[in-house]
Amino acid sequence: MIEANNPNLKSWVEVPEGSDFPIQNLPFGIFSTDTLSPRVGVAIGDKVLDLQNLYEGGFLANLGMSKTDFATSTLNGIINHGKASSSALRNRISELLRSDSTELTDSTFSLTCLIEMSDAKMHMPVMVGDYTDCYSSEDHARNVGKMFRDPENALLPNWKHMPVAYHGRASSIVVSGTQVKRPHGQLKLADDQPPVYGASRLLDFELEMAFITHPGKGLGEPITTYEAEDFIFGIVLFNDWSARDIQKWEYIPLGPFLGKNFASSISPWVVTLDALDPYRVSGPNQDPEVLPYLKYDGPSHYDLDLEVEIVPPNGQGKVVCRSNFKHMYWNMRQQLAHHTVNGCNIRGGDMIASGTISGPEEGSFGSMLEISWKGTKPVLMPDGSERKFIQDGDTVVMRASKGLIGFGEVSGELIPA
Ligand code: MN
């Protein structure tokens, strides 16, 4: 066991009961306040630990890192040091925060290095270089196949042989709290009519998780499933906003484009792969047998409870989905091995999203497309209104947690076109 994950650890920082951020988590993010410039922080309870301040006080020496890694508006510096260094940094922070440690409490630093989370403005945690979106939940792929193709052959022939994915747009990935504007585009309102230009009418969310990479190997050098975890820094919640009407008309033959790249929202705290280690579970039996480069050993899926809530402007929200990250057919190791099997290189700060995470039964579907079954089963909201898709003024909130730890949330309000 990674000692920083020991469930018996307690911190001298008071952590409220049920907090997503006990000492066993220690996720990284970028924050600022009215008086502090953007910098690296770690969440602990309802406080943020200021790592720039700690570094300047000499508490993060001998980790091979420098001030520029902490006094900066992205985590890329830390991430680019690689897995061993970022793990050592988390372990050091765990030591400093333990209830039996007096290094910080004996100095004035315990007063100046902790900021109230409510005073912190969170920023994009990483400068995302490249972004890829997978399609790795079998239940999601089956649901979509049943709706739009053949219920008897819902999965395309390649689906169980490889983690299918497309390259998305990094520039429009935004941090939680950023408003999302309903996109315009080409809509094909009727099969026998030409397309029209207008605001999307079928605006949807996709419940996903995304992992952030350390620098990979060189161009032409694949990363194997056995090496993959050494190249994964951490994970965030990911809302892949989707305009279904734009998507439906544009996606053949080259795949998702303007129906997707107007915005994707992520949670601000990056939970490290180290912190998720206690929540490993085995994945589904993969049949047919996968090619050798996609084989892996040991539990490589993660048991994380997920939920999606739609909160209308009047504030009475409704949870429309409860799913779990373990419902993936392809795991992150396989996704990364497949992504690089042709020699494609990855860089520090790349983001690879899971694809919509649907479970097997109604109530666990990860998009309104599936929840309302193409608009045929509207969701009844507490105020009596119905939702087939997302309406202007709605805020979509996604959460993830398990056992001791959680991710906080990713939220985004849809504003009119
Ligand atoms: Mn997606």
Q: For residue 104, give the CATH number of its domain.
A: 2.30.30.230
Three-state secondary structure call for residue 90: helix
Q: Which ranges of 292-399 does DSSP label H, i.e. alpha helix?
A: 332-340, 368-371
What pLDDT shows up at residue 275?
98
pLDDT tens string 255-268: 999 999 999 999 99
Average pLDDT over residues 142-163: 95
Contact between 411 and 310 (Cβ < 8 Å): no
393 C-alpha to ligand 1 centroid (Å): 22
68 C-alpha to ligand 1 centroid (Å): 34
Instruction: State how far the Cα of 41 lies from the Cα of 89, in Å rounded to an integer.
Output: 12
* Tally of CB atoms within 10 A around 252: 7
Q: Among residues of the chain, what percentage have pLDDT more than 90?
A: 97
User: Same structural domain for residues 137 and 275?
Assistant: yes
Contact between 266 and 173 (Cβ < 8 Å): yes
Prior bond to 313 cis, omega within 30? Answer: no
Instruction: State how far the Cα of 181 lies from the Cα of 417, in Å rounded to an integer.
Output: 6
Pairing of strands 131-134, 351-353: parallel
Instruction: State how far the Cα of 294 lies from the Cα of 212, in Å rounded to an integer.
Output: 20
In the chain, how many domains are there?
2
User: Same structural domain for residues 180 and 205?
Assistant: yes
367 C-alpha to ligand 1 centroid (Å): 9
Residues 6 or more apart from 35 whose CB is under 8 A from it?
A: none
User: Same structural domain for residues 154 and 75?
Assistant: no
Asked if pLDDT for residue 154 goes beyond 80, the answer is yes
User: Same structural domain for residues 255 and 154?
Assistant: yes
* Tally of CB atoms within 10 A around 111: 9
Residue 188's domain spans which residues?
A: 131-415
Instruction: Name the nearest CA neighbour of 299 among 278, 320, 323.
Output: 278
List, in sequence order, every beta strand (DSSP E) within 89-201: 114-116, 121-123, 131-134, 165-167, 173-175, 180-181, 184-187, 196-199
135 C-alpha to ligand 1 centroid (Å): 7
Contact between 256 and 168 (Cβ < 8 Å): yes
User: Same structural domain for residues 400 and 255?
Assistant: yes
Average pLDDT over residues 135-159: 95
User: Same structural domain for residues 193 and 266?
Assistant: yes
Average pLDDT over residues 364-393: 97
User: Same structural domain for residues 185 and 201?
Assistant: yes
What pLDDT shows up at residue 95?
98
17 C-alpha to ligand 1 centroid (Å): 34
User: Same structural domain for residues 143 and 218?
Assistant: yes
Instruction: State how far the Cα of 259 lies from the Cα of 267, in Å rounded to an integer.
Output: 21
Instruction: State how far the Cα of 412 lies from the Cα of 400, in Å rounded to an integer.
Output: 16
Backbone φ/ψ region at 175: left (φ over 0), alpha (ψ -120 to 50), beta: beta
Three-state secondary structure call for residue 132: strand
How far is CA 122 from each of CA 74, 89, 145, 269, rounded to the nearest angstrom?
Answer: 11, 21, 38, 9
User: Same structural domain for residues 246 and 316?
Assistant: yes
Lowest mean pLDDT of 105-109, 234-238, 255-259, 328-332, name the range: 105-109
The letter for the amino acid at 16 is P
User: Same structural domain for residues 37 and 169?
Assistant: no
Reported as a pLDDT band with limits 50, 70 and 90, residue 49 is very high
The letter for the amino acid at 79 is I
pLDDT tens string 60-97: 999 999 999 999 999 999 999 999 999 999 999 999 99
Instruction: State how far the Cα of 14 lies from the Cα of 159, in Å rounded to an integer.
Output: 47
What pLDDT shows up at residue 172?
98
What pLDDT shows up at residue 366?
98
What is the chain's length? 417
How far is CA 202 from each of CA 188, 253, 353, 395, rounded to the nearest angstrom?
Answer: 12, 21, 22, 15
Residue after which a domain boundary falls, among 91, 123, 155: 123
Q: What are the residue numbers of the active site?
A: 140
14 C-alpha to ligand 1 centroid (Å): 38
Instruction: Give, as residue ranges, everything with CB less than 5 Å from ion ligand 1.
Output: 133, 206, 240
94 C-alpha to ligand 1 centroid (Å): 34
User: Same structural domain for residues 198 and 58?
Assistant: no
Average predicted confidence (pLDDT) for the chain? 97
Residue after which a domain boundary falls, among 90, 123, 156: 123
Tell the residue number behind the tokens 């206690």, with chain if given. Answer: 278
Residue after which a domain boundary falls, among 67, 89, 123: 123
213 C-alpha to ligand 1 centroid (Å): 18
Contact between 245 and 200 (Cβ < 8 Å): yes
Asked if pLDDT for residue 361 goes beyond 80, the answer is yes
Tokens matching residue 140: 């999601």
The CATH number that applies at residue 158 is 3.90.850.10
pLDDT tens string 163-212: 999 999 999 999 999 999 999 999 999 999 999 999 999 999 999 999 99
User: Same structural domain for residues 226 and 363?
Assistant: yes
